[in-house]
C-alpha cells in the first residue's frame, strides 16, 4: 500500500513536471519558426505573383511590364543560383527558412504586413531601396528565385516543418499589402486556405509553381468551380477535371528548376487502362506487360493492347480449345512437304487427262 502511494506521488509530480514543460518547449520552438515561415512565405509569394523577370528589358521599364512571370514561374531557369541561399538551403530546411526569413524581415517588400516589421522599418531611413537588404533588383530576383526552388523542393519532400504554418488562415493572407502590389496593379484571390486536411497546401501555393491551376489567370483561383474551369488546368478536357501532383515524384531538385512537374489527371475514369503522361500532356495507354509484372500461364506471353492486355500463346504454340491450353504446334516442314507432294500428283493427273481428252478430240488445246 505504501509503495503504491509512493509511486502515485512520484508519477503525478513527474506528469506535472513533464507535460506543461513539454508543451511550452514545443510552442517555444514552433511559434518562432511559424513566424519566420510566414515572413519567408510572403516574401516569396510577392515574387511569384507580382514580380517580373528582371533579366529582361531595362531597369526602368520592368515596373510597368505585364505580370506574366507567374505563368511560367520559375522559368526560365536561373543560370546561377544565389550563393548565400544555395549554401544555407543545402544545410537543411531549418537553415534555409532562417536565411530567407532574415532577408524577408528586413525587406521593404513585406514591411507593412506585420506590426513587428513595421516598427523595425520605421527605424530605418525612408530612402531604403525596394531591393534592400540585397544590392540590386537583379540580385533580389536571383535570391528569391533560388529560395523558391529550394523551398518548393522541401515542400515536395514533405518536410514536417513546413506543415500548416498558416493555421486556418488564407494561404495568401496579406499578399495585397506587399510593396510589389503597388505597381503590379492586380489583385490575387486564392480561396484555398491553410487547412488541417492538407497541411502542405500553403507551402505549395507560396513556394511552388502551379502546374495544375492558376497559370493562365495570374494565380486567381476564387472558388472550387474556378479551379476546375481554369484554362491552365491540363486536365480540363477530361470528364473529371481533377488535377493532382504525383506524390513522391516531384522530389528532384534539378527537375523542379526546369519546371518538369509530375501531375496526374483522372485518365482511368475516361478510358480504363490509360494514364496521364506529364511528358506528352495527354492520356496514354498503360503497358501492363512491362509495368505490372503480369504472370501468364505456361506457354503464354503477355501482349499489351490499347487499354488492356492479354496472355496469348507463345510462338509455335496453338490454343487447344478442348484442353483449354496452349499446346505445341505440329512441326511445320513435314506437314507442308506432305501436302505439296499431294498437290503435285493432282496437278499431274489433270494434265494427263487434258492431254488424253485432246487426243480423243474432246478438247481443242492440251493447255487449259
Ligand atoms: C518527374 O518524373 C520524371 C520521370 O520519372 C523524373 O525524371 C523527374 O525528375 C520528375 N520530376 C520531378 C520534379 O521530380
Residues 96 and 82: beta-carbon distance below 8 Å = no
- 3-class secondary structure, 78: coil
pLDDT higher at 13 or 317: 317
Q: Is 246 in the pocket of ligand 1 (CB under 6 A)?
A: no
Residues 289 and 296: beta-carbon distance below 8 Å = no
What's the average model confidence in pLDDT over 49-78?
A: 66
- 3-class secondary structure, 279: coil
Q: What pTM does this model have?
A: 0.73
Confidence at residue 5, expressed as pLDDT on a 0 to 100 scale: 54
The protein residue with its alpha carbon nearest to ligand 1, atom 7, reads 255
State the CB neighbour count (10 A cutoff) for residue 260: 13
Which of 208, 211, 255 has most ligand 1 atoms within 8 Å of its beta carbon, as the pocket-test mutant?
A: 255
The protein residue with its alpha carbon nearest to ligand 1, atom 11, reads 250
- The whole-angstrom separation of Cα 353 and Cα 359 is 10
Closest atom, ligand 1, to C-alpha of 261: 13
* pLDDT tens-place string over residues 70-101: 666 666 788 899 999 999 999 999 999 999 99
253: which 3 cell numbers? 531538385
Confidence at residue 227, expressed as pLDDT on a 0 to 100 scale: 81
Under DSSP, the state recorded for 313 is: E
Confidence at residue 358, expressed as pLDDT on a 0 to 100 scale: 67
- The whole-angstrom separation of Cα 311 and Cα 174 is 59
Which of 77, 150, 208, 262 has most ligand 1 atoms within 8 Å of its beta carbon, as the pocket-test mutant?
A: 262
Q: What are the φ/ψ torsions at residue 43 (nearest 5 degrees)?
A: -60, -40
Lowest-pLDDT choice from 67-71, 93-97, 134-138: 67-71
Confidence at residue 295, expressed as pLDDT on a 0 to 100 scale: 83
- 3-class secondary structure, 27: helix
35: which 3 cell numbers? 513566424
Q: Is the pLDDT of residue 1 over 50?
A: no
Specify which residues 303 forms β-bridges with. 310
- The whole-angstrom separation of Cα 79 and Cα 318 is 61
Give exposure, 223-254, as e/b (b: 16+ Cβ within 10 Å).
Answer: eeeebeebebbbbeebeebebebeeeebeeee
Amino acid at each position: 500500500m505504501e509503495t503504491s502511494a509512493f509511486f502515485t506521488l512520484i508519477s503525478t509530480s513527474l506528469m506535472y513536471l513533464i507535460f506543461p514543460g513539454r508543451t511550452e518547449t514545443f510552442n517555444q520552438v514552433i511559434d518562432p519558426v511559424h513566424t519566420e515561415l510566414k515572413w519567408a512565405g510572403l516574401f516569396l509569394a510577392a515574387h511569384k505573383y507580382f514580380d517580373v523577370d528582371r533579366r529582361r528589358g531595362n531597369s526602368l521599364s520592368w515596373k510597368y511590364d505585364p505580370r506574366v512571370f507567374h505563368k511560367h514561374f520559375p522559368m526560365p531557369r536561373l543560370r546561377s543560383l544565389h550563393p548565400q541561399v544555395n549554401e544555407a538551403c543545402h544545410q537543411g530546411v531549418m537553415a534555409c527558412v532562417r536565411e530567407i526569413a532574415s532577408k524577408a524581415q528586413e525587406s521593404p517588400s513585406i514591411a507593412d504586413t506585420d506590426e513587428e516589421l513595421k516598427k523595425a522599418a520605421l527605424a530605418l531611413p525612408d530612402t531604403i531601396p525596394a531591393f534592400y537588404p540585397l544590392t540590386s533588383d537583379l540580385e533580389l530576383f536571383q535570391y528569391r528565385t533560388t529560395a523558391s526552388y529550394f523551398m518548393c523542393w522541401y515542400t515536395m519532400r514533405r518536410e514536417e516543418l513546413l506543415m500548416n504554418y498558416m493555421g486556418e488562415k488564407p494561404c495568401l493572407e496579406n499578399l495585397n499589402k506587399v510593396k510589389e502590389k503597388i505597381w503590379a496593379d492586380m489583385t490575387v484571390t486564392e480561396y484555398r486556405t491553410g487547412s488541417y486536411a492538407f497541411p502542405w497546401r500553403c507551402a505549395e501555393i507560396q513556394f511552388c509553381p502551379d502546374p495544375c491551376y492558376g497559370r493562365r489567370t495570374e494565380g486567381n483561383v476564387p472558388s472550387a468551380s474556378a479551379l476546375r474551369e481554369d484554362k491552365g488546368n491540363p486536365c480540363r478536357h477530361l470528364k473529371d477535371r481533377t488535377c493532382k501532383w504525383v506524390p513522391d515524384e516531384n522530389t528532384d531538385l534539378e527537375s523542379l528548376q526546369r519546371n518538369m512537374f509530375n501531375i496526374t489527371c483522372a485518365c482511368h475514369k475516361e478510358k480504363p487502362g490509360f494514364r496521364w503522361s506529364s511528358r506528352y500532356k495527354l492520356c496514354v495507354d498503360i503497358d501492363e506487360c512491362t509495368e505490372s509484372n503480369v504472370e501468364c500461364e505456361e506457354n503464354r506471353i503477355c501482349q499489351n493492347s490499347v487499354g488492356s492486355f492479354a496472355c496469348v500463346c507463345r510462338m509455335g504454340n496453338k490454343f487447344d480449345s478442348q484442353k483449354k491450353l496452349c499446346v505445341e504446334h505440329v512441326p511445320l516442314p513435314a506437314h507442308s512437304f506432305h501436302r505439296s507432294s499431294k498437290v503435285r500428283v493432282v496437278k499431274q493427273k489433270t494434265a494427263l487427262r487434258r492431254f488424253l481428252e485432246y487426243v480423243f478430240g474432246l478438247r481443242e488445246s492440251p493447255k487449259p
